[in-house]
Structure formats: structure tokens, C-alpha cells
Amino acid sequence: MLHRITSCLAQVKEKEPLVHSITNYVTINDCANILLCFGAAPAMCEVKSEVEEFARLIAALYINLGIMTEEQKEASLAAARTASSYGRPIVVDPVACGAISRRTHIVEELMECGSITVIKGNMGEIKSLAGYQGKVRGVDSVDDGDNGIEACMHLANKYNTIVAATGELDIITDGKKVYLVENGSPMMPLISGTGCMAGALVAAAVGACDDYLTAVASALMAINIAGEMAAESLPTALPGSFKVKLFDCMYNLQSRHIIQRGKIQCL
């Protein structure tokens, strides 16, 4: 499995997929830069009059509900419809679903207007979308992960999509197979945007690799291992320094790091 992951990551660097991101204003620059460090090309286009024309040029579409103004919502729906018509993979990050009912309704609208490839969120968001009792605090999950695999599989089968729930243990499933990624650093929740960055990387990976389930696991393992390496490189655990090192370690991530450090279970 680790060799399949390294192959997928190599395809990202080889193909340099153009990722169209409609994302959270808080982390838009972080998402753009982590994509560059990953080997992909970012494009932050969110004007409704432009997204349909732009869709034919992209490798993947990433929609993050972190702010989601009405303009962003209309652009997201138009982008999803057009990207789906071109057969481009679409990743949706359902930020704050479970805390704000409007966000859940937007996800439902997105599912109706396009073929969504991946739903990636924290455990609270995923469980809420699946109809389970997800525990969220604003945009953050405070869920203990109980019944997490069951909830992810239920949501994947409900929408015929891949679901990824991130946390101390990342769960990735298409409703049949389940991958559990166990890498990561306790410092990652100390900076804003690691979830948004992970979603952007997932979009890059599915834009470059046809094996979507492996692609999702590859992207999440990559940012988690980069996080481990970043934390280990610091003499003192400081969040600001960690963020800079996270970009550096993503840029320097190599296949040998995946083989040496990768922790994944296949169920």
C-alpha cells in the first residue's frame, strides 16, 4: 500500500494538476502555498461569471465551505455543475456542518448539481452529515470518534462518494474498503487551516491519480508526515515556526519518508 501511495504522490509532481479552489478566506493563501509545495498548481477563482469557462482547464475542483458568502455559494454550484460535466473530480470540505444548518443545505445542493468525488471533513462534520450525533464547536470537531467508521461508510454509501474524516486517526472509505491513516502531529491543530490545506491536497491527488481512494489516503498521509517532520525539526514547540516548517517539509517530502514513516491500516 505504501508503494501505491508513493506512486500517487509521484504522479502529482509529474502532472502538476491545476486545482481550482473556492475556499476559506482565512486560509486561502495557505492552501495556495501548500499546493505549490505538493507539486500542484493553485487557482483561486471564485467569480461566478468566470468559473464555468475555467472548469475546462482544471484537473480538480476544491470547494471549502469555511466562509461561503452568497457569491461563493453561487460560484461553487456553477463550478460543480460544469466541472462534473467535464468529468473533473470534485472535493467538498463541509466546514461547520453540524454547527450551522445553512452549510448542510449547501452540501445537499452541491450533491444534487454535480458528481462529488470526495467529502472531506473533521469527524464532527462527517457524522453530522451522515445523520449521527456529531460534536462540533464552530469549525472544529470535539467529537471522540465513536462509531466513526460506521458513520463514514454510511455517508459514502448514501452519496456514492469517498468520505474522509480527519482527526487523530484519519478514516477514508468508499463505503466498502476502509483505510486508516495513523500519522500526524499534536501541533497540527495549533495552527489554523491544516484541515483546509489537507482538503486542497486531496483535490490535487485525485486530480493526478485515477485511483481515487488511494489518492485521498496519499494526500492525508503526506500532510500528516510533513507535520511530524516539521514538529521534530523544531527545538521548541512554537506554532508559528511549525507552520513555516510544515511548508518546508511538504516541499522536501520524498518517497523514502512515506516508506519509513507511513502508518496505514486497510480494512
- Check residue 142 and give its pLDDT: 47
Q: Count CB atoms within 10 A of the CB of residue 127.
A: 29
pTM of the entire predicted model: 0.95
- pLDDT of the chain, 267 residues: tens digit per residue: 999 999 999 999 999 999 999 999 999 999 999 999 999 999 999 999 999 999 999 999 999 999 999 999 999 999 999 999 999 999 999 998 988 999 999 999 999 988 999 999 999 999 999 998 655 544 444 455 578 999 999 999 999 999 999 999 999 999 999 999 999 999 999 999 999 999 999 999 999 999 999 999 999 999 999 999 999 999 999 999 999 999 999 999 999 999 999 999 999
Instruction: Give per-residue burial for 83-119: e unless 16+ CB within 10 Å, then b.
Output: bbeeebbbbbbbbbbbbbeebbebbeebbeebbbbbb
Alpha helices per DSSP H over 94-172: 101-113, 123-129, 148-159
- Check residue 135 and give its pLDDT: 52
CB 148 within 8 A of CB 173: no
Number of domains in the chain: 1
CA distance 180 to 217: 8
The C-alpha cell at 198 is 489537507
- Check residue 98 and give its pLDDT: 83
**Angle, CA 186 vertex, CA 233 and CA 193 arms, to 5°:** 90
The residue range of the domain holding 175 is 2-266
CATH of the domain at 220: 3.40.1190.20
